Structure 1
Amino acid sequence: MSVIAEIQLAGDFALSELLRDLPDVRMQLERVIPAGDRTIPLVWIHADDPEPAEQELREHRLIKSITRLETFEDRALYRIDWAEEPDSVFTEIRTQRAALLDAVGVGESWEFELRFPTHNALSEFHANCNEAGIPLTINRIYRPSDVESSTRYGLTDVQYDTLFQALKQGYFNIPREIETAELATQYGISDQAVTERLRRGMTNVFTQIFVLPDDDAS
């Protein structure tokens, strides 16, 4: 049966090095695209003006190129092409068939939420990262079938609250009784930020509900 792990990584691995000189910048990993023997991360930089962080990353030794894909008022989405594959974190995520539920970094510390098909896959991920010298701390492990998981479905607090308020106030009704712009005003954030919360929250729910047959293999 699948397990979900909340993992903290800090120190000498690629993503923490990217933020080492950007201590006030919050970065969020959108997803990782396999590309042959390499991986291409898509990351959000959360800032009203992403230009300084973008320029800093563009000159980083680990990055061959960085391309802005989307721009909103409080963040921008980038594709990163490595100069060379910097470490085995992404490779291990792919090898162990882990699903990326969330990954947020500030300074040199990153917090990942990963869904592994089995507990053994999580153990192998942990062991292989330690062997590669990537510092890793597992803060929490739980199964989607746990009581807590069955009521929260891996949602973060803000995702849970935003989805709850959207449901309560009629966002999912036909016709809609409230729009994302109105929800955004209640939370004091942008319309797009609310839309992103709803999208990520629903992705987490669906990921835990629709378990592939291989995920049940022990």
Structure 2
Amino acid sequence: MDVESFWELMETCRRQAEGRDARLAWLRADLSRRPQLEIVDFQLCLDRVTRQAFHWDLVAAAERIFGGRCSDDDFDYFGLWMVGLGGQIFGRAVLDPDALADAPEVLALTGRSWRDWGEDWPGWELLDYVASEAYGLATGDPDPCGDRFHAAVRAQRGEHLVGRRVLAGERWNVRDEADATRRLPRLSVMFPMGDDS
């Protein structure tokens, strides 16, 4: 599976199922019918794609959407959620984080308190586990820790790519309204800092 096939699969998943749980179930079932190497390749593509989001400007966009509350884990899950938005929106957001303002899923969050986001929460942690679960189904050995799967991923990826992520760009303070308005003009209007309404 290459990156283009990965995005085709994610788009098909979006068309086939509504809601994150249904999409995960569809994706898990689809992947579990594929060869083991292809399941591993899905995870490698997911890792490669989400790594493209490791940029301080996207961290700032996430912080803006979350009202300044965005931990490292929140940002990781936010990147996975962005994958779920589809390749076109993801690609535009990587190039211009303010383009997230065009995503219907982001528009649905505006004017609402983060406490009321519920199913609309902009994070999708479980996407990172779907390949491991599918691998367990495909091999008939569902390992809750996914040790065999992770060993297969490491073997396919190669140890040279293992390591701590590095965020590109320069860190900046999303609470600096002048800077935020310049860098994220639409998201700054949509998600005013300190607004919990």
Q: Which has the higher helix share?
A: 2
Answer whether TM exceeds 0.5 for this pair. no
In the superposition, the TM-score normalised over structure 2's length comes to: 0.30
Please state which structure has a larger fraction of its residues in strand: 1
